[in-house]
């Protein structure tokens, strides 16, 4: 096992999460290889990283010298075969597709030194589904970071059935090195911890709205003030995207038949059909063309606005 304190990190996928993992690591002194197969994605990743570093300088959270040093620690590349052998740990942050992740894991197992852990940042796909019983399956695990990563100080760490204890210890040490708090789950569950708790609370909020207990702005105010959430569940749904929410709750309803998922489908379905996808489309539960965002009427006949 290499010394984590001096090890070099490989991040595969320079999208939203990969770029943030890379910059969070570089800001904490880690040399990073950031690899993406799409050259434009590497450019976008670099722009995202530069924006984060510039904002830190503007807000006096870092000096220009430190920001420049962090950027210099990140090596951008589309050549996995050249980058991987130099690294001691890998975090895969490519698109959320099992087939793509399987190919990337197999490439990493081939190219990385034998001591290197292979972590996936997937929100839903378990490392065991990607690696199966492959000979390298003692080196794979889930490390689930949160967006925006430089603000959200958490990583959920989950072993696969064959993951060695040395790799788990190294994962916790890597998380500490890049200053993210780690929580190690005893077993893998769909949605890990945070999204399980959030999903339960959100389904309950939709069920209360469907039952006419209060309007959605009132529920948002109650949850913000009563639980000290930064956003209420409906404003949060707008932030995540109502189309994605509709998709995940529909899948879950088909599997478990839960009332809160059905309530979400009944309320969010007409919004999505009307093009109200949340913040990204300018309107969802709230209208984002005004500041502060204003609650909008709900089109669904059963729902209260
Ligand atoms: N976005 C979030 O809020 C969030 C939060 C936690 C976890 N995740 C997980 O992180 C992963 C990445 O999500 P994202 O939002 O950053 O996606 P994204 O679409 O922004 O980025 C994915 C990147 O992977 C690249 N890619 C695709 N195939 C590749 C390959 N074979 N080799 C190298 N690069 C490849 C794409 O070019 C793209 O730049 C997903 O598994 C997702 O579930 C996302």
Q: Which atom of ligand 1 is nearest to the CA of 18?
A: 16
CA of 17 to the centre of ligand 1 (A): 6
How many C-beta neighbours within 10 Å does residue 255 have? 10
From 129, 153, 184, the end of a domain falls on 184
Q: Does residue 170 sit in the same domain as residue 250?
A: no
Q: Does residue 34 sit in the same domain as residue 155?
A: yes
CA of 149 to the centre of ligand 1 (A): 13
Pocket of ligand 1, candidates 45, 93, 245: which has the most ligand atoms within 8 Å of its Cβ, to mutate? 93
Determine the pLDDT at residue 1: 52
In a domain, 305, yes or no: no
Q: Does residue 39 sit in the same domain as residue 164?
A: yes
Q: Does residue 173 sit in the same domain as residue 212?
A: no
In a domain, 303, yes or no: no
Distances (CA, A) of 133 to 140, 163, 277: 11, 11, 40
SS3 at position 277: coil
Q: Does residue 119 sit in the same domain as residue 219?
A: no
How many C-beta neighbours within 10 Å does residue 3 have? 9
Q: Tell me the pLDDT band of 182, cut-offs 50, 70 and 90.
A: very high
Q: Tell me the pLDDT band of 303, cut-offs 50, 70 and 90.
A: very low
Instruction: Say if ligand 1 is within 6 A of residue 200 CB.
Output: no
In a domain, 304, yes or no: no
Q: What is the CATH number of the domain that holds 230?
A: 1.10.1040.10
CA of 228 to the centre of ligand 1 (A): 30
For residue 71, what are the contacts with CB-CB under 8 A and spacing of at least 6?
26, 49, 50, 53
Q: Which atom of ligand 1 is nearest to the CA of 14?
A: 39
Q: Helices then strands (H, E): number in the chain?
A: 12, 10
Instruction: Say if ligand 1 is within 6 A of residue 98 CB.
Output: no
| Ligand 1 atom 24 nearest Cα | 94
H-helix or E-strand spanning residue 118: strand 117-120
Q: What is the CATH number of the domain that holds 146?
A: 3.40.50.720
In whole angstroms, give the CA distance from residue 149 to residue 105.
23
Instruction: Say if ligand 1 is within 6 A of residue 199 CB.
Output: no
Determine the pLDDT at residue 244: 87
Q: Does residue 214 sit in the same domain as residue 162?
A: no
CA of 18 to the centre of ligand 1 (A): 7
Instruction: Say if ligand 1 is within 6 A of residue 18 CB.
Output: yes
The long-range contacts involving 47-54, CB below 8 angstroms and separated by at least 24 positions, are 48/16, 48/19, 48/20, 48/23, 49/19, 49/22, 49/23, 49/74, 52/20, 52/23, 52/150, 53/23, 53/27
From 149, 184, 219, the end of a domain falls on 184
Place of tokens 């769909």: 190
In whole angstroms, give the CA distance from residue 132 to residue 210.
42
Instruction: Say if ligand 1 is within 6 A of residue 10 CB.
Output: no
Q: What's the total number of domains in the chain?
A: 2
Q: Does residue 210 sit in the same domain as residue 151?
A: no
Q: Does residue 125 sit in the same domain as residue 162?
A: yes
For residue 238, what are the contacts with CB-CB under 8 A and spacing of at least 6?
278, 279, 284, 285, 286, 288, 293
Q: Tell me the pLDDT band of 4, cut-offs 50, 70 and 90.
A: confident
Q: Tell me the pLDDT band of 297, cut-offs 50, 70 and 90.
A: very high
From 184, 206, 241, the end of a domain falls on 184
H-helix or E-strand spanning residue 228: none
Q: Which atom of ligand 1 is nearest to the CA of 124?
A: 43
Q: Does residue 99 sit in the same domain as residue 227?
A: no
Residues assigned a catalytic role: 144
Give the range of the structural domain holding residue 120, as residue numbers without chain letter: 4-184
Handedness of CA 229, 232, 237, 238 (dihedral sign): negative
Distance of CA 270 to the CA centre of its chain: 27
In a domain, 240, yes or no: yes
Q: What is the pLDDT of residues 86-138, one digit of tens each?
A: 999 999 999 989 999 999 999 999 999 999 999 999 998 999 999 999 999 99
Instruction: Say if ligand 1 is within 6 A of residue 11 CB.
Output: no
Q: With a cut of 80, say whether residue 301 has pLDDT above it.
A: no
């Amino acid at each position: 096992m290499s010394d984590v304190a001096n090890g070099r990190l490989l991040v595969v996928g320079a999208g939203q999460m990969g770029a943030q993992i890379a910059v969070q690591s570089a800001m904490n002194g880690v040399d990073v290889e950031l690899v993406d197969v799409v050259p434009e994605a590497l450019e976008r990743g670099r722009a995202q990283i530069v924006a984060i570093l510039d904002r830190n300088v503007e807000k006096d959270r870092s000096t220009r010298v430190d920001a420049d040093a962090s950027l210099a620690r990140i090596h951008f590349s589309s050549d996995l075969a050249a980058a991987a052998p130099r690294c001691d740990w890998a975090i895969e942050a490519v698109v959320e597709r099992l087939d793509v992740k399987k190919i990337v894991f197999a490439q990493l197992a081939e190219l990385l030194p034998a001591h290197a852990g292979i972590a996936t940042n997937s929100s839903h796909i378990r490392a065991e589904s990607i690696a199966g019983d492959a000979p390298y399956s003692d080196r794979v695990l889930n490390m689930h970071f949160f967006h925006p990563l430089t603000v959200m100080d958490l990583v959920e760490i989950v072993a696969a059935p064959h993951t060695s204890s040395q790799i788990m210890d190294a994962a916790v040490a890597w998380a500490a090195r890049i200053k993210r708090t780690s929580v190690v789950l005893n077993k893998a569950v769909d949605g890990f911890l945070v999204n399980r708790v959030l999903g339960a609370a959100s389904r309950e909020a939709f069920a209360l709205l469907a039952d006419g207990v209060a309007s959605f702005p009132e529920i948002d105010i109650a949850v913000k003030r009563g639980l000290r959430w930064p956003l209420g569940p409906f404003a949060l749904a707008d932030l995540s995207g109502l189309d994605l929410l509709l998709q995940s709750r529909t899948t879950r309803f088909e599997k478990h038949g839960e009332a809160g998922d059905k309530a979400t489908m009944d309320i969010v379905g007409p919004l999505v059909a009307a093009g109200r996808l949340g913040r990204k489309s300018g309107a969802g539960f709230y209208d984002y063309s005004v500041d502060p965002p204003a609650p909008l009427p709900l089109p669904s006949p059963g729902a209260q606005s």
